[in-house]
A and B are shown apart, each in its own frame.
Chain A
Amino acid sequence: MSSLIPFWYIIITVLWTGFFILEGFDFGVGMLHSAVGGDEAGRRAAINTIGPLWDGNEVWLIVAGAGMFAAFPGWYATMFSAYNLALVLLLASLIVRGVAFEYRGKRDAARWRRTWDVLLIAGSVLAPLLIGVALAGLLHGLPINSAQNFTGSFWVLLQPYALWTGITLVLVCALHGATFLCLKTTGDMRERSWRLARRVAPFTCAFVIGFVIWTHVTAGRGFFLNLIELLAILAVLAAVWLVWDHHEGFAFAATAVTIASCIISIFADLYPNVMVSSTNPAYNLTVDNTASGGYSLKVMTVVVIIFLPVVLAYQTWTYYVFRRRVSKQEFQPPAPSSEAAPKPGPAPQPTSPPAAPGS
């Protein structure tokens, strides 16, 4: 029965990791869509590379949160209360981002679209930054009293290590998004994606290496790096090399492994604690003193074993359905003389997305 507690810690780790692998490139595309897109058609093409995917990816975050609520209510309660204001900011950036996708094309006005573009970029930078700060705080420690309640202020969250982790995640997401755009676009957009990836890669590499060492030191577990930490460093080095050497698929795989191993490093170094108390190590929240009862964990285990594979199956299928590259030409305003063409094909009208079926 108690072996379900570590199992659920792994599930929570898997959910956060899945969230960052998938939503990571959505964040990256959100940050880079203007730079990669160039003109309006290009921006739309960039956004549409993740159009069918981002919503399903974001659910990983919801499930990670709900999983913590169900399996480790004490952890969920302390963490979400402590991060109250940071979460308000996070929610605002996620909301603004999600709405921007949906609404930027719903009106044909340059100012309307520019506004949403700026909000999309801001939301996409802010979200991984805040989550990075939040996850780092778990390991670094926050003022927590003997009743498992957070006693600090907002500023306590902004420790140097937490900020470094936040920036690292922003950079990893940017690189992940850039390699994703290399895979999913054509022509000059693909070129610009490569250029951006090459420019971001060295910074990402430096920050990831710094993050791994800092994480290792913060956790204070011996001199040698553990396997996951080592993997993060190797993966980011590989990513830099693959980006410079133009290996499309492998570069994306490498950034995916980088992002995954960064997240897993935090969780691996944290265990069996779930939140470190900077007030007194005796007040640390651990998997044992925050977990749900055995029956709840059993029920949730059955549910997760049934549903997680099903979810993975249909999400994989979604990626297969939308495997094609998105080209800017699909979003070009139709040439005025082409109206006599018998079959306009799937090109929608450029300005109103819920385009009419071809006449």
Chain B
Amino acid sequence: MTNVDLARVEFAFVTINHFFFVPITIGLAFLTALLQTAWVRTKRDEYLRLTRFFGTLLVINVAIGVVTGIVQEFQFGMNWGAYSRLVGNIFGAPLAMEGLAAFFLESTFLGLWLFGWDKLPRRVHLATIWAVSLGSVLSAAFIMAANSWMQHPVGYIMVNGKPQLNDIWAVFTNPVFVWGYAKVLLASLVTGAAVMLAVSAWQLRHGGERDVFTRSARIGLIVLVPAILFTMLVGDELGVIEARYQPMKIAAAEAQWTTCQPCSFSLFQIGGGKNDQTPTQIIEIPHLLSLLATNSWNGKVVGMTPLQQQYSKQYGPGNYVPNVFIQYWGMRVMAYLAVLVVLIGVWGLWLIRRKKLATSRVFLWVAIWGAVLPFLMNTAGWFLTESGRQPWIVQGIMLTKNGISPTLSTAWLWISLIAFVLLYGTLATVDLILMLRYSRKELPPPRADADADAPVPAVLY
């Protein structure tokens, strides 16, 4: 493997791992805040017990989300020095804003929330969990603005061959950012809700308190279904926008070598990779690709071959086609799993209506394993987005192979890659063990009515 390959593998590895924890944090922080709000408003004890229960799961994940987040920030300088040097004045700005406006908020108020149960007035304490949720949501905004700039650079001028920021609002109104951010938030909500549903389902199957966990399972489902539907809608619009600014990404996602109009969507296909431009498409749905990529029945999708010719002319000779296999299947894994999540969600809602949610053992079993789906979906989506930008690190401005720190030795890259694999492997194992252990714990016991106004003890290390 070349240095660039190694650095890319390392970045992909730490980022994919980081993004296991991020959506749980964003999703569960919001849901925990909802539960606590319900408790403060209704004073019903079961909401407090659920808040404490799911709050513990949240904290286990935030710990890893925060520390793996530091790695993310350091990666740009450690391995991608040339990239950082060239675009730091644009890309670094949202990162610094993220630290100042979001990380401080999230971390400081998480401490206040955890340790402040018995020290803060009830409503102030409620505000602290909302501040944590706000912090996590803001942090996603800044990092998505930075990432979207790499997909579709805006708000800059070229000075001596270097991009210089000249309009920060353009960076935050970048259409790729607006839609991509909405999608990340919704996908996080899907993830958090699926985890809440799965944990509740496990409890219901294993003799956990039926009333309380039926309630949390219902909350999970009621959030899950609209969230996944909106994720798909927003994802569709994002596809149209990407087709406009990164046509190669969408053409590769459909393994579309030649230009087509109208274009059909293949459910799956055999071949179509680098040296095979005439894939065998199985089950084609006419017009669907035109709809997905252009929002119109007869829209035109430019194929990879003409795009390759155009880019070679524009940017000089080279290969501008991303890995078609990753694009094609990244798209499909994401979309098909989303449909599966919708089906599970609708099934659950139907059971709620029939008042059979707590007793349908088959559904509960499916819901438990269903928690895996959002993680696979998220990962496939990131493969689609990031691999689809290749060979660019910043679309049209810098090639990935030119972004690496030029004097890094291969040995260093191997050492750091192995170190991160070992470290993250251990972390993920410990996290999983603890998540499972705490998901299977009994609920905290109910409080006597007389204690309803007594302070709730703090959570301590």
Interface, chain A (partner B; CB < 8 A): 44, 47-48, 51-56, 58-59, 61-63, 65-67, 69-74, 76-81, 83-85, 87-88, 91-92, 94-95, 98-99, 101-107, 145, 147-151, 154, 292-293, 295-296, 299-300, 303-304, 307-308, 311, 314-315, 318, 321-322, 330-331, 343, 345-348, 353-359
Q: Chain B residues near A55 (CB, 8 Å)?
A: 66, 107-108, 110-111
User: A92 with B55: in contact, given A58-B107, A355-B459, A357-B48 (CB under 8 Å)?
Assistant: no
Q: Which residues does chain B contribute within 8 Å of A300, judged by CB atoms?
A: 93, 96-97
Which of A79, A83, A92, A292 has a CB less than 8 Å from the CB of B92? Answer: A292
A320 to B97, CA, bound (A): 26
Q: Are B103 and A63 in contact (CB under 8 A)?
A: yes
B85's contact among A74, A99, A359, by CB below 8 Å, is which?
A74
* Closest chain A residue to B89, Cβ basis: A292
- Which residue of A107, A154, A314, A357 contacts B52 across the interface (Cβ within 8 Å)? A357
Inter-chain pairs besides A295-B164, A346-B457, 13 sampled, C-beta below 8 Å: A48-B115, A51-B460, A55-B107, A62-B103, A65-B77, A70-B88, A76-B76, A81-B407, A107-B434, A145-B407, A292-B88, A300-B96, A355-B459
Which chain B residue shows the least CB distance to A290? B85
What are 16 A-to-B residue pairs whose CB atoms are below 8 Å? A63-B99, A66-B99, A70-B88, A78-B85, A91-B71, A92-B423, A95-B71, A105-B461, A151-B407, A303-B101, A308-B100, A314-B104, A318-B108, A353-B459, A355-B459, A357-B457
Contact B93 A355 (CB under 8 A): no
How far is B114's CA from A76's CA once the two chains are assembled, in angstroms? 34
Distance of A36 from chain B, by nearest CB (Å): 15
Known A51-B111, A321-B116; judge A315-B104 contact (CB<8 A).
Answer: yes
A189–B83 Cα distance when bound, in Å, is 50
Q: How many angstroms from the CA of A292 to the CA of B448 in the assembled complex?
A: 61
Tally of chain B residues near chain A (CB < 8 A): 89
- Partner of B100 from A105, A307, A315, A330 at Cβ < 8 Å: A307
Select from chain B the residue with minimum beta-carbon distance to A345. Answer: B457
Partner of A77, one of B55, B85, B412: B85
A66-B96, A85-B416, A311-B104 known; A91-B460 Cβ under 8 A: no
- A95 CB, min distance to chain B CBs, angstroms: 4
Q: B-side interface residues toward A, CB under 8 Å?
A: 48-49, 52, 55-56, 59-60, 63-64, 66-71, 73-74, 76-79, 81-82, 84-93, 95-101, 103-105, 107-112, 114-116, 118-120, 159, 164-166, 168, 405-408, 412, 415-416, 419-420, 423, 427, 430, 434, 437-438, 444-448, 451, 454-461
Q: A88-B419, A88-B420, A354-B56 given as contacts; is B459 within 8 A of A70 (CB)?
A: no
Contacting pair B111 A53 (CB below 8 A): yes
Known: A56-B111, A357-B457. A304 touches B74 (CB 8 A): no
Q: Which residues of A contact B55 (CB under 8 A)?
A: 354
Are A85 and B100 in contact, with the CB atoms below 8 A?
Answer: no
- B70 A99 Cβ-Cβ under 8 A: no
* Complex CA distance for A318 and B107, rounded to whole angstroms: 11
* Minimal beta-carbon separation of A164 from chain B (angstroms): 25
